[in-house]
Each structure stands twice: as C-alpha cells, then as structure tokens.
Amino acid sequence: MSEPRTLQEAIVYFADADNCLDYLIARRWPNGVVCPTCGREDVSFVPNRGVWQCKTRHPKAQFSIKVGTIFEDSAIGLDKWLLAMWMLANCKNGVSSYEISRATGITQKSCWFMLQRIRLALQDETLGSKLGGHGREVEADETFIGGKARNMYQNVQARRITGRGQSFSDKTIAMGILERGGRVRTKVISDRQKETLQPIIRQNVHADSVLLTDEMGGYKRMEEYRHQIIDHAVQYVDGRVHTNCMENFFSLVKRSLGGTYISVEPFHLFRYLDEQVFRFNSRKDMDDEGRFDLAVRQIVGKRLTWSQVTGKVGEKQATAN
C-alpha cells in the first residue's frame, strides 16, 4: 500500500503496526537502523517485541522506534500518535484534545499531553539562520493575547484580571517577525520596551534588510536597517510600507485560540504559536502529505515530560532536555 496522501488514507495506512514502523524507520534511519545510545549500526531486530538489540553491552541495549523521540515512554500506540500528528500538522485552525479524544478513545488528559509533545516537534528548526537580507522586506509587530473578561468564569476572572477593566497588563504579549513571501517567527515577550524588542530583531533579521514596523517607540533608532515606519494614527498602508502580513498571521493565531482551543494559559502560549508557525511556514511549498512528513522528521531528539509540561520543573531545564 502506498504512503497516505489524505487523512482517510492515513487512518487506514497507520492502522497497520508494520506500516507505522516502516514509515518511521524510513525517516529516522534512512541508511539503516542505528543504536541511539552508542551509534552502532549492526543491530538485530526482535520481531516478537518490536525492538532492536544492540550488540554492544550498555544500558538501553534494547530500544524501540520511540526511544529518543517525542513518543518515548508513551504506552499509546503509534497508530494514534501518527493520526494526532497528521491532524495537528494539517488542520488550519488546529485540533483540540477533546476532538482527538473522541476520535481515538484516549482520555482527554492524555490527548492534551500528546498534542503538547507534538507541538514540540513542530518547533522551527531554522532558528539559527536570519530572515531577510539582500534588501528583502521584513515586518515586525506585536500583539496582545488574552481572553475577554466578560467571557470568563468568575474564579478565572479573579485570577487573570488584576488590573482595571480589560487592561493590557492582563494579557500576554507575542512578538512576530515575518519575511514577506517567506517565513515567520514568534516569541512571547514580557514587555514592549526597546531593550526587549530590538535584540530579538537583531538576532533574527539580517542587517541588509528593509525593516517595516509601526510607530511604537520600541522600534526607534535601528539605523543598521533600512527602517520604514507606518503611523497607524494616520494610515495603515503607504505603498509597500505596512505590517498587514504580520497582522494577518496574528489573526490566524487568535482565530485558532478563540475558536479551537478556547482557553490557553500564558505558560503554554509559546507552544501554540509554534504550531501555527509550522503550518504558516509550510503553507506554500507543501501539501498535507509533505507537511506531515516534515513533522515526522522533526520528532527525534526532543523530549517533553509531564513534569515539564505542567510546570513542575523550570522552563530552562525543559529546554535543555
């Protein structure tokens, strides 16, 4: 059976455990299975257990396809993991843990944990490179994300709304940088001061770029860029000077947060941004099959435990793991 191209084909294809294994092996070890602990290549497969045996004596000499991936230590079958990954990678407005739970029969709590681990795999792996360069146009903007007080339960409102009315201080700030016709990057930030915004721009944007921002003071005095400013108090578009592309991305984010996920804690917001960034950056060059293939290739070397995702360990330690 050929590899799936649609969700319906994926459900049928990954219902076979051998297909799941073959699909993952082809993407993780295209040149042959390698021991993830010592790197030895002449390993033997134990078919009745679905694991490999390394011929070198060391801890974890037996390993499965899940070891060293987001699937590690999960008792949930690969058929359900891959179905959830297909849906999250390809549903434009995301997919909720309740929907995955109804579709698979797994508890909502476990599905929520699954989706957070998949979002880790969807993280942008090109963060070391810079956007723009050679005179390309790059937009930078920020937005406030948070629920409306009138829609919250009383106990949630008391916990979240600490300022007067619907204050911006009660919302989470997300910053975005977008290369026109190219990729977007996002980051949750603590404030909109220049000491916060400008280092992020310099880290992610080539100096030989046209930087497009609004009139906010945090973007001023960035002389290394060909900086063009649109004053929103006067107009929103002046020829090619605008931040509408970045604002369009943020509208997609807010549509998924408000329509699919309903309520997202600020602690987890960066994960949902990573999810939307993944789909946005692959919107032109990939179909559903290609987007899923890319997601599967990014599962290795990433681990997210329940303690990390629930905040029982620091975020710095979580990133290191």
The pLDDT score that the predictor gives to residue 153 is: 65
Condensed to tens digits (0 to 9), the pLDDT of residues 217-248 reads 999 999 999 999 999 999 999 999 999 999 99
What pLDDT is stored for residue 128 in this prediction? Answer: 84
Residue 249, pLDDT > 70, answer: yes
Q: pLDDT, tens digit, for every residue of 139-174?
A: 999 999 986 655 556 776 666 555 444 445 678 999
pLDDT of residue 320: 44
CB-based contacts of 51, cutoff 8 Å, min separation 6: 45, 62, 63, 64
pLDDT of 125 higher than 60: yes
Confidence at 281, pLDDT banded by 50, 70, 90: very high
The predicted structure's pLDDT at residue 81: 98
In this prediction, what percent of the chain has a pLDDT beyond 90? 86
Residue 321 has pLDDT above 80, yes or no: no
Give, in order, the Cα–Cα distances in Å from 290 to each of 8, 96, 316.
Answer: 16, 22, 32
Q: Please tell me the predicted confidence (pLDDT) of residue 234.
A: 94
**Among 105-119, 151-165, 209-223, 295-309, the least confident range:** 151-165
| pLDDT averaged over every residue in the chain | 91
Range(s) within the chain of domains with CATH label 3.30.420: 136-264
Question: How does residue 27 score in pLDDT terms, banded at 50, 70 and 90?
Answer: very high
pLDDT tier, 263 (very low <50, low <70, confident <90, very high otherwise) = confident
Its pTM surpasses 0.85: yes
Architecture of domain 136-264 in CATH? 2-Layer Sandwich (3.30)
